[in-house]
Amino acid sequence: MARRTAVVTGGAGFIGSHLCDALIRAESAVICVDNFLTGSRDNVAHLLASPHFDLIEQDVNDKLAVAGEVDVVFHLASPASPVDYLRHPIETLSVGSVGTLNALELARERGARFVLASTSEVYGDPHQHPQTEAYWGNVNPIGPRSVYDEAKRFAEAATAAYRREYGADTAIVRIFNTFGPRMRTDDGRAVPAFVTRALTGQSLHVAGDGRQSRSLCYVDDTVAGLLAVAASSHPGPVNLGTEDERTVMDIARLVLDLTGSAAGIEFVAMPEDDPGRRRPDTTLAREAFGWEPRIAIEGGLAATVTWFVQQLAAGAAR
């Protein structure tokens, strides 16, 4: 059989690079497209020697320079942390709109399956708990976080429109709070921020009173979900995340325990429009794909801490 070819936009990013790894292990040919706004060549450097991996440095806001047959397009390109999308608001809006349309057009031209990596942020600060795929969300359309939230909501609308208008083979995946190795030390999200500060002896900054909740899903589980959706014909949207809901304070304490850090906890102001609760209903993923997270938060955090220790040590050595 011919080797399947996958295009991964944002493939040098945190989740994207892990997806590229999994696709190469599955003996797919991979075309990674990234402009390195927030991604890193280091994340895919180990794949460059593979004859089945190609890296294209390109902004997906331009027509994608991908030649040949394509079987599946994974669209992950976008700043994803608040630090990044607040620093790059226009780029975030553009990649969610123009970039998504370009990726959809590539998939349509080649007759490929299209998988959109959307986000739990489309639910905003939810009034429904846990969040099902049928929930329309509670998003502030003009708040600072809207550049990411609304970009992803537009991307979902565009994906659904291509399916209705052109009969395109599309799917929408809503990713919840993924974490793991290859997150940047300056990423700004809770896990990398907590781990970095704990390992460097700085107090952990907990927003508000720390009772807001998150549902952390280890990156290997998220990637497995993306592959399962891609292998199906399901249109989504599909929630991918864990139902193991933890408070931010619980996560901070767990990081302190795992790192053995004596750093304390410092309370800081709550960011504008920060969601109070976040937990997916993953019934659809279980029933349609047999998917559920396999890696407990504690095990995933231990692996993440180990990776951050190595990164910080390498930085000190330089």
DSSP 8-state secondary structure symbol assigned to residue 138:
B
Is 5-181+217-245+277-295 assigned to CATH 3.40.50.720? yes
In the block, tokens 């994974």 appear at: 74
Query: Which run of H or of E encompasses 31?
Result: strand 29-34
Phi, psi of 34, deg, nearest 5: -155, 140
Q: How far apart are CA 80 and CA 86, in angstroms?
A: 10
pLDDT at site 123: 95
Query: Which run of H or of E encompasses 30?
Result: strand 29-34
Low-confidence spans in the chain with pLDDT less than 70: 1-2, 316-318
pLDDT at site 318: 44
- In this structure, which amino acid lies at residue 48? L
pLDDT at site 317: 52
Q: How far apart are CA 217 and CA 222, in angstroms?
A: 7
Q: How far apart are CA 204 and CA 223, in angstroms?
A: 29
Query: Which run of H or of E encompasses 296?
Result: none
In the block, tokens 């991604």 appear at: 39
pLDDT at site 263: 87
Mean pLDDT of the chain: 94
Instruction: Tell me how long the chain is.
Output: 318
Residue 213: CB atoms within 10 A of its CB come to: 19
What pTM did the predictor assign?
Answer: 0.95
pLDDT at site 17: 98
Query: Which run of H or of E encompasses 285?
Result: helix 283-289
With contact defined as beta carbons under 8 Å apart, do 9 and 31 qualify?
no
Q: How far apart are CA 186 and CA 174, in angstroms?
A: 24
Best CA proximity match to 183, nearest among 35, 83, 258, 62: 83
pLDDT at site 1: 41
Catalytic positions? 148
